A and B are shown apart, each in its own frame.
Chain A
Amino acid sequence: MSETTLGGIAGRMPKFIRRADPAVVTAFACIVVLLLVGSLYSRSFLSPEYLLQQLKVASFLGVIATGMMLVILLGQIDLSVPWSVATGAMMACAAAAYGPVGVALAIPFGILCGVAIGIVNGIGVAYLRIPSMIITLATNAVAQGLMVVYTGGFSPQDAATAAMRYLATGFTIPGVPNAVIIWALIGAAMVFVLTRTSFGRAVYGIGNRERAAYLSGIDTRRVVMIAFAVSGGLSAFGGVLLAGYASKAAQSMGDAYLLPSIAAVVLGGTSILGGRGSYLGTVAGVILITLLQSILSVMQMPEAGRQIIYGVVIVVMLLLYGRAPASR
């Protein structure tokens, strides 16, 4: 077995490298390559301002991908991200129209709407045992329907509150955009939950073998339900931030986040079958995707090319890491 020889070599390396997932390392390597390629196109590509700007753009995706990762770790998927994002954004902006109380409650209300979508997903997956991709597609459609009815089919007129704009675009620490700080906080919380809490252990356990987790006395259905609720809430929070960034919500603002959030998680080495993956990988995946988008736009690649490159990159990366074992 090659494991022993690998172990022998790895044993002499520092601990953090030894424990690193090859997928995470590859993702970071790709980031470096992208930065080098980008700098060939534009001198300013490696400037601190530009990099911080990239990090800020990445943080919206980062928040959304955090929830997606939790669900994927369970071996499930959340396809209701597009309209959870849009619902969060629209409902937060809508609340803002109801006087000072509405303004104050805008952000929690937006997040709560996302949590509600997530709970419906969670009930469907955990208790009714509907395949997650089906139930989340359905709740996505319902959320879309509700929003269409609410907005009357037009672009929503409500504007984001000052607090939302501050969270998305302001600076609490000079030089570091608030959005980046928020992502860092959420990321830190996620790392803590995944590595230090019994909930996090249960998530990995269920993702690996729900049967074994159930027989170990874990209430697996509750864990799955909570994970979906968190995913819905984080998607909506991402929407709130995006609305703050653009000063208002838009109908299809979430569409551009479904594929990238799945891609970021999977490219970061989290197994789509669940049970394996680290948040560091997701961070790498998010930055990788954002840089890829940025370079494609610097190269003035049209939307068509971006879609194709996304798809191809994901398939290729998955073929490298994400294959199911051979049957015989």
Chain B
Amino acid sequence: MKEWRYWLAEQRGTLLAFGIFIVMFAIYSANHPAGFTANVVQTAANKGVLLAFVAMAQTLVVITAGIDLSVGMIFTLTNCMASWLVIGTGLETAFGVVAVLGTGVICGAVNGAIVIYGRLQPIVATIATGAVYFGLALLLRPVPGGSVNEDLADFLTGRFFGFVPASLMALFVVVLIVWVPFSRSELGRAAYAAGSSETAAYMSGVPIRRGKFLAYTLAGLLAAIGGLFLTFFTYTGEAAYASGNAYTLFSIAAVVLGGVSLFGGKGSAIGAIFGALAFRTIGDLLFVFDFDPLWQPLFQGVILLIAVSLGAFALFRVRNRLEWFL
């Protein structure tokens, strides 16, 4: 038996997303007026990384066969919060960062508690909590404003060694300290197991509830990291309803592009990251080809529609029609 085949099969979704991203980015940079320069890469990275964080958050919940429609609002709320707190001396800034991330964790934990222990459907529960988080964001920033520790912001959005975008490095670090341990932990596996088959997981004595709870909580944390970076890029906080909603929506698109199954149990956050980067690049392709930017929302919507329809092809293999109704 060939080892690499199993590895390939397991990583197929991720590799496909990676492939799409590479192709798209090649087309993008080849047609970019400035060409493939450190600047172009940095700008693209900074835009892509935001969605990548939110998509990672969405992945964790989707793996459990749930969905988090409040990720975009946690992202917005933590952005508003960071525009108040992540400022001042080093110590004050550090405290601010901790507070912002802690808020994300709490938001995620609240979602998890309502869904798992309150036994509500994830979709309605997170729409409702999303409203609460957006309300809190509005309380913090009724009008756009605020500021952020610019030294930290510039450091994390700039470049290392002149060509490595710092935001990409940050994403890499987050993957290493959040995703990798999660995916290899017992609770992470429980989250996968619960998403794939909750009955089988229960029969096998897997800690389903704790696994799912951890997934929702970490999703909050990741969305908060995204919110923090948004503040670093924009230097301000803004409770923008449309943008929060768009991030939620795009995170689902990125997750699907990244090979994560919406039915749960399958996929990885790495795939979702490439899905996010690919999605962003596809959206930006319109610019380099001099399309009217007005077409961008439609273009992204159509890509989303196609992405979610792709999964339906498995349906044509179903031979017992009762399986439609599982």
Contacts and interface: CB of A to CB of B under 8 A. Distances in A.
Contacts of A315: 114, 118, 120, 125, 128-129, 132
A311 B297 contact: no
B234 interface: no
Contact of A303 (B123, B138, B302): B138
Contact of B124 (A308, A310, A318): A318
- Main SS class of interface, B: helix
A308 B114 CA distance: 16
- Main SS class of interface, A: helix
B298 A146 contact: yes
A145 B325 contact: no
Interface string B115-150: 000111101110111111111111100100000000
Contact of B301 (A128, A142, A266, A323): A142
Interface residues of B, number: 54
A36 interface: no
A144 B120 contact: no
Contact of A131 (B125, B132, B262, B294): B262
Contacts of B239: 304
Interface residues of A, number: 57
B242 to A, nearest CB: 7
Interface in A120-173: 124, 128-131, 133-135, 137-146, 148-149, 152-153
B300 A318 contact: no
A133 B294 contact: no
Interface stretch (B18-26, B157-165, B304-312): B304-312
Contacts of B282: none
Interface string A250-289: 0010010011001100100000110000000000000000
Contacts of B184: none
Contact of A319 (B120, B249, B253, B304): B120
Interface string A283-321: 000000000000000000011111111111011001100
B252 A134 contact: yes
A319 to B, nearest CB: 5
B185 to A, nearest CB: 23
B315 interface: yes
B155 interface: no
B118 A319 contact: yes
A281 B315 CA distance: 36
A307 B304 contact: no
A1 interface: no
B202 interface: yes
Given A129-B312, A210-B325, A152 B119 contact: no
A76 B138 CA distance: 30
Interface of B: 67, 69, 114, 118-121, 123-125, 127-139, 142, 202, 239, 241-242, 245, 249, 252-253, 256, 262, 294-302, 304-305, 308-309, 311-312, 315, 321-322, 324-325
Contacts of B124: 77, 262, 266, 272, 314, 318, 322
A140 B321 CA distance: 29
Contacts of A302: 138-139, 142
Contacts of B308: 124, 130, 134-135, 138
Given A145-B297, A318-B120, A311 B315 contact: no
Contacts of B311: 130
Nearest to B242: A252
B65 to A, nearest CB: 10
Contacts of A189: none
B70 to A, nearest CB: 9
Contacts of B301: 138-145
Contacts of A306: 135
Interface string A51-88: 00000000000000000000000000100000000000
B142 A304 contact: yes
Contacts of A144: 297-298, 301
A318 B115 CA distance: 11
Contacts of B262: 131, 134
A5 B237 CA distance: 57
Contact of A304 (B129, B138, B294, B309): B138
A323 B118 contact: yes
Given A145-B300, A310-B128, A319-B118, 17 more contacts: A124-B312, A130-B308, A138-B253, A138-B305, A142-B301, A144-B298, A144-B301, A145-B295, A145-B296, A146-B298, A149-B295, A259-B127, A259-B128, A308-B136, A318-B120, A323-B119, A324-B119
Nearest to B256: A134
Given A129-B315, A323-B119, A308 B325 contact: no
Given A141-B304, A311-B128, A323-B120, A305 B312 contact: no
A308 B131 contact: yes
A41 interface: no
Contact of A129 (B120, B123, B324): B324
B180 to A, nearest CB: 28
13 contacts: A135-B309, A137-B249, A138-B304, A141-B301, A211-B322, A266-B124, A302-B138, A308-B135, A309-B135, A311-B128, A311-B135, A322-B121, A324-B120
A192 interface: no
B221 to A, nearest CB: 21
Contacts of B130: 311
A137 B128 CA distance: 16
B119 A304 contact: no
B264 to A, nearest CB: 11
Contacts of B133: 311
A309 B280 CA distance: 34
A130 B313 CA distance: 10
